[in-house]
Structure 1
């Protein structure tokens, strides 16, 4: 198996090379089982990091491209918490937005019945009453038509009473951020989040010259070719690749730069990006009283139905992406773990829930054997 490993920054961890190498075994097994073609992963602990890449970023009849440390992945729904969420939290820090603000203040298309009650907090916690998603990609609608459609559809439930994970809510949050900042979401995320954190290989709509480094996703039944460097999510693709719910591309290294801000929110280098107070609010429980749900602002918290943190502590939180990506934190252990795969390369039926949990188990065991 073609692999890359980097343990140099773990020299002061007091952990044997064999133990360090063993943390990647769940990934190796998933590749052997053909659950995924390959992966790039990284773990942040005590300010240092270890990295791993194995398998293939592209596995087709025409070519096989190995996964590497610098392979760029379609982040899918990690877009929600790596692009849209921090821009919204920045607006809250700046006093331009409040969690209890009605969405209709920023999206006039929501001036209908029960939708007047939906707040920014509802969108961020997936408690808005909006459906999980809708088919916009076969309609060839522009953004205004999409907003009118969302605004006119009846709610699935009363806001604040349930959690239904909703792409629609984060599409709206991306629109709100763009309107408040008077710039597209991709520009806002780059200017206010990615550039200050040194995330130079993170963004929407990657240029064609980066194609050799991008992991391919799913085979398109329409074209007979794999989606490669073009966002996998159909609604994001129909929106030109830029949306609040999907569309971001990144590397494991860049996502660990982002992770440092969340684990070290008091650190002077990162303090100017997001304040400790909004980070604490985002990672605290926002859905108490809703059975089976433990959600922060954007984040999935330990014990939620969608949680894949494995044996991480009770303080753990994170998020996953449909293409096979995840970003998870354990503040109690001062630990962050990135797992980037293109599991849809072999079809949407590939389930990697166990891989995610096993990887987090291995990371936690590395620190507290």
Structure 2
């Protein structure tokens, strides 16, 4: 007996009409030292991921040795969601379509804090309360910025009234800062993913120290030097019609996974998906979760880190700063929020050996996961930087197998 039917998109037999290759950058043939067989295998694995039915749209960008190998998209930015009928209008997803990075935004916020430390504005070993005195409340006085970056800050969640537990709270900056500062620690120094809370506190420290907004600091040090069109917290109103819509997909999320997901996401899983498509979410600044970017911009950001902080002839970060960003802070350990083994640096989710989130034998890789199967990462051993952006929000389903095969293919073909 079938207990539930996984939510899947309609998959066309011929993917050519819904595939877009950016400009003609791949017309010259294989690049980055990869053979035609290598690129063919990676592309076949990406198409298999789309055919899993979990994603209305996928955008993928891969650089190797700094050369653009892939910048492609499959599917739709709007329409063809799992619950959409045949009469719902469809809008093609292209490599230029902005997509919300969700938690992959944490990697960007972390880099900004490292940049501020490089400039002498903060010390990562210093207590958060040194820069933000209100944070010392309820036993959090000795928590350092480094602790927060590495998800050891002790405040992965907030114990607040259920009526307050709604996505719209993320759009009220002053209130959420007050709530986080007043909240007691819940996990000590144990590793526990700070899905929302850590980003706000890190950003508030940056704003208090610099007197600048988080967005302007991003513009100055990353976005403008990398010549990015998007890559912003929230997105300008003129671009709203271009933004990709997010869809709930995959197998129905039930207990106990639904409880784990709600603990990490602050609100029930379907509510996050719904809220992410609202105008208020698009105009908010959520440091841990709402940078809008393309796959190319995501890859470009990680390529800058892969190149030791250099981009377009400018030294955006010192090489030693980048080395610290990628350096493990502790060993593989059990994450008390995600309920899985994880390995973090001060701001990045790290790969692992024999296998990790970026594929097999990726101990040197660093990057970040975004809700649900969004990935931005760099792998120094393979000389690659990549952005994999998806619009289907699925926790369970066969897509996890095809995603694993895609990452394994990239890892083996770029070895």
Q: TM-score range by the shorter chain?
A: 0.7 to 0.9
**How far is 1:365 from its partner?**
2.4
User: Residue 281 of structure 1 aligns with which residue?
Assistant: 324
User: Residue 17 of structure 1 aligns with which residue?
Assistant: 36
User: Residue 211 of structure 1 aligns with which residue?
Assistant: 240
Q: TM-score, normalised by structure 2?
A: 0.77
CA gap of 1:73–1:230, structure 2 versus 1, over 3 A, is farther
* Alpha-carbon distance in 2 for matches of 1:181, 1:8: 45
Query: Is the 2:310–2:316 Cα contact (8 Å) retained in structure 1?
Result: no
Length, aligned pairs only: 357
Matches within 5 A, 1:41-80: 41-50=60-69, 51-59=71-79, 60-61=84-85, 62-80=88-106
CA gap of 1:148–1:156, structure 2 versus 1, over 3 A, is same
User: Residue 263 of structure 2 aligns with which residue?
Assistant: none
User: Residue 234 of structure 1 aligns with which residue?
Assistant: none
* Alpha-carbon distance in 1 for matches of 2:230, 2:38: 30
Matches within 5 A, 1:88-107: 88-107=113-132
* Alpha-carbon distance in 1 for matches of 2:412, 2:298: 22
Deviation track 1:265-307 (CA, whole Å, cap 9, x = no partner) reads 1647465211111111111111248554421011111239x94
Work out whether 1:336 is the aligned partner of 2:385. yes
* Alpha-carbon distance in 2 for matches of 1:71, 1:100: 39
Query: In terms of mean alpha carbon deviation, does 98-107 or 58-67 score higher?
Result: 58-67
Deviation track 1:176-225 (CA, whole Å, cap 9, x = no partner) reads 11222212211211122110111222213323332343210147989x98
User: Residue 346 of structure 2 aligns with which residue?
Assistant: 297
Structure 1: unaligned runs, 5 residues or longer? 232-236
* Alpha-carbon distance in 2 for matches of 1:88, 1:152: 23
* Alpha-carbon distance in 2 for matches of 1:177, 1:331: 29
CA gap of 1:100–1:213, structure 2 versus 1, over 3 A, is same
Helix, strand or coil: the match of 2:344? coil
Structure 2: unaligned runs, 5 residues or longer? 1-14, 160-164, 249-268, 335-340
* Alpha-carbon distance in 2 for matches of 1:215, 1:131: 29
Helix, strand or coil: the match of 1:42? strand
Query: Is the 1:283–1:296 Cα contact (8 Å) retained in structure 2?
Result: yes
**How far is 1:360 from its partner?**
1.9
Query: Is the 2:30–2:39 Cα contact (8 Å) retained in structure 1?
Result: no
User: Residue 178 of structure 2 aligns with which residue?
Assistant: 148
Matches within 5 A, 1:120-139: 120-132=145-157, 135=165, 137=167
Matches within 5 A, 1:251-330: 251-265=294-308, 267=310, 269=312, 272-288=315-331, 290=333, 292-303=341-352, 307-330=356-379
Q: TM-score, normalised by structure 1?
A: 0.86
Helix, strand or coil: the match of 1:169? helix
2:290 aligned to 229, 247, 253, which one? 247
Query: Is the 1:10–1:48 Cα contact (8 Å) retained in structure 2?
Result: no
Query: Is the 2:303–2:384 Cα contact (8 Å) retained in structure 1?
Result: no
* Alpha-carbon distance in 2 for matches of 1:137, 1:96: 32
Matches within 5 A, 1:28-47: 28-47=47-66
User: Residue 367 of structure 1 aligns with which residue?
Assistant: 414
**How far is 1:335 from its partner?**
1.0
* Alpha-carbon distance in 1 for matches of 2:244, 2:155: 32
RMSD between aligned alpha carbons?
Answer: 3.1
Query: Is the 1:312–1:360 Cα contact (8 Å) retained in structure 2?
Result: no
2:205 aligned to 176, 201, 207, which one? 176
Query: Is the 2:154–2:186 Cα contact (8 Å) retained in structure 1?
Result: yes
CA gap of 1:163–1:270, structure 2 versus 1, over 3 A, is farther
Deviation track 1:208-251 (CA, whole Å, cap 9, x = no partner) reads 332343210147989x98854747xxxxx39x510211111001
Helix, strand or coil: the match of 1:29? helix
